[in-house]
């Protein structure tokens, strides 16, 4: 990683703050519809003469939004951000999470960092985009359901040829990176496992099939895979330089004196780019099928293990010789870059749409998903500078 040469900062504009205030007021927790927020953005754009396109999910209760400013027949750049947020349930907030509050140069509210701050700045810059003699277009892509598996943007990317007739030069995904240029992230695949045993009174335990016991054996297999990952391959540019396997949720059984009939757990793989999860998924499945299930079914054929792939998001790794990296650094006013373990929609832009991508946006990932989430006013100012430079480049 090279050294940082961040240029001077300036406060956020009133326009960015005002728009952020409106965006935060919409409770777009992923379980809710984001349509009211999308309608607000549509009106904002339409009032400035910008047409936009909704791309609905199959239920019709959520939508992505795509808009293009500038000559659609040229290759341009995408500014992309997700509109959904994580819940505030059970979190202790000092103020209403859906009302923007300013304290000591910070703006508090759910989504301020992750990632309505970026969206607010992009929208605030639309009038300047319209006034500029753009020779390349700037596309805006607002998505839904990123927080539950980068689901929503897929529906937009399936239609990318219609939305952007000329393939974009690059996409900038505005996740909170403190405006550092992120050139790679890991892929993530998560799974649900259901173990079905045979319940009997615990005094007759050998006659039953203990679902928790068999789940535990499978979890230990996943742990062994994680230990194997620790041996390499490695990429020291990542904050976590190896692939990882992790079991995060488990539940099963009813009372102590009954051999448990069911146990469910969830696990994930986070793979370095270029390393397939499939080999290790197959290893888990074969262990369940060939080692565990024969022992279970010898007692009761109705028992078994079901492993479901719930969601998969690809990683990406931009070639360090790619032209887009120095462009992104120039726009960000920095000369450093990094790779991260968390996932974003960038991998989907690369793999589904063939659009080179960089993750760069205002705010710190350390604030994401936390109570009293905030973004520094100065971070919004840095993001404004980024888009100012992008507008200049497109002219």
pLDDT tens-digit map of 237-293 = 998 999 999 999 999 999 999 999 999 999 999 999 999 999 999 999 999 999 999
User: With 90 as the cut, is the pLDDT of residue 167 above it?
Assistant: yes
In a domain, 1, yes or no: no
| Domain stops at, among 313, 347, 365 | 313
Q: How many CB atoms lie within 10 A of CB 22?
A: 16
Is 301 found in the same domain as 361? no
Q: pTM for this one? A: 0.90
Average pLDDT over residues 137-147: 97
The reported pLDDT for the residue numbered 12 is: 86
**Residue 143 domain boundaries:** 14-185+315-394
The reported pLDDT for the residue numbered 9 is: 57
- Among the options 27, 42, 84, 147, which is catalytic? 84
Is 200 found in the same domain as 270? yes
Active site residue 146: yes
| Cβ-contact 77, 386 below 8 angstroms | no
- Among the options 42, 146, 213, 317, which is catalytic? 146
Is 101 found in the same domain as 177? yes
Cis peptide bond N-terminal to 145, omega within 30: no
In a domain, 349, yes or no: yes
User: With 80 as the cut, is the pLDDT of residue 78 above it?
Assistant: yes
pLDDT per residue as tens digits for the range 207-222: 999 999 999 999 999 9
In a domain, 6, yes or no: no
pLDDT per residue as tens digits for the range 298-341: 999 999 999 999 999 999 999 999 999 999 999 999 999 999 98
- Total domain count for the chain? 2
Average pLDDT over residues 145-170: 96
Instruction: Give the C-alpha separation, 312 to 292, whole Å.
Output: 25
| Cβ-contact 232, 263 below 8 angstroms | no
The CATH number of whichever domain residue 121 belongs to comes to: 3.40.630.10
Is 97 found in the same domain as 53? yes
Is 220 found in the same domain as 175? no
Is 34 found in the same domain as 155? yes
Identify the DSSP state of 252: E
In a domain, 4, yes or no: no
Is 174 found in the same domain as 63? yes
The reported pLDDT for the residue numbered 239 is: 84
In a domain, 3, yes or no: no
Average pLDDT over residues 124-139: 98
Active site residue 231: no
Strands (E), the chain: 52-56, 63-69, 77-82, 101-103, 106-108, 138-143, 170-173, 181-185, 187-196, 244-252, 262-271, 304-313, 316-317, 337-340, 357-359, 374-376
Average pLDDT over residues 227-233: 96
Is 169 found in the same domain as 76? yes
* Whole-number average pLDDT of the chain: 95
In a domain, 2, yes or no: no
pLDDT per residue as tens digits for the range 84-112: 999 999 999 999 999 999 999 999 999 99
In a domain, 9, yes or no: no
Q: Identify the CA nearest to 338 among candidates 356, 315, 322, 358.
A: 358
In a domain, 358, yes or no: yes
Q: What are the tokens at 29?
A: 């927790």
Is 265 found in the same domain as 136? no
Is 93 found in the same domain as 192? no
pLDDT per residue as tens digits for the range 5-32: 444 456 789 999 999 999 999 999 999 9
């Amino acid at each position: 990683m090279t050294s940082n040469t961040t240029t001077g900062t300036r406060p956020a504009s009133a326009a960015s703050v005002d728009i952020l205030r409106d965006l935060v007021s919409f409770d777009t927790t992923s379980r809710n519809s984001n349509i009211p927020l999308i309608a607000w953005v549509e009106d904002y754009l339409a009032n400035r003469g910008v047409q936009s396109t909704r791309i609905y999910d199959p239920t019709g209760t959520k939508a992505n939004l795509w808009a293009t400013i500038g000559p659609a027949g040229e290759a341009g750049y995408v500014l992309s951000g997700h509109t959904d947020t994580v819940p505030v349930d059970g979190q202790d907030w000092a103020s209403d999470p859906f009302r923007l509050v300013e304290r000591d140069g910070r703006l508090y509210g759910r989504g301020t960092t992750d990632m309505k701050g970026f969206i607010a700045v992009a929208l605030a810059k639309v009038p300047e985009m319209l006034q500029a003699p753009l020779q390349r277009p700037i596309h805006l892509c607002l998505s839904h359901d990123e927080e539950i598996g980068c689901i929503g943007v897929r529906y937009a990317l399936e239609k990318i040829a219609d939305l952007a007739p000329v393939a974009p030069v690059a996409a900038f995904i505005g996740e909170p990176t403190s405006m550092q240029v992120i050139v790679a992230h890991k892929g993530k695949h998560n799974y649900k496992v259901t173990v079905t045993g045979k319940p009997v009174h615990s005094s007759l335990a050998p006659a039953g099939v203990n679902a928790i016991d068999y789940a535990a054996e499978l979890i230990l297999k996943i742990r062994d895979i994680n230990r194997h990952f620790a041996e390499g391959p490695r990429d020291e540019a990542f904050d976590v330089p190896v692939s990882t396997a992790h079991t995060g949720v488990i539940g099963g059984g009813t009372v102590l004196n009954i051999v448990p009939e069911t146990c469910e757990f969830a696990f994930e793989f986070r793979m370095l780019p270029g390393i397939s999860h499939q080999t290790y998924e197959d290893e888990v499945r074969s262990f369940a099928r060939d080692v565990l299930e024969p022992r279970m079914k010898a007692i009761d054929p109705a028992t078994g293990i079901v492993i479901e792939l719930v969601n998969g998001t690809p990683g990406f790794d931009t070639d360090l010789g790619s032209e887009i990296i120095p462009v992104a650094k120039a726009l960000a006013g920095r000369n450093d870059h990094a790779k991260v373990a968390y996932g974003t929609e960038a991998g989907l832009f690369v793999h589904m749409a063939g659009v080179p991508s960089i993750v760069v946006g205002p705010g710190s990932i350390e604030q994401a998903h936390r109570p009293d989430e905030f973004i520094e006013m100065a971070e919004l100012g840095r993001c404004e500078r980024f888009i100012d430079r992008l507008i200049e480049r497109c002219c």
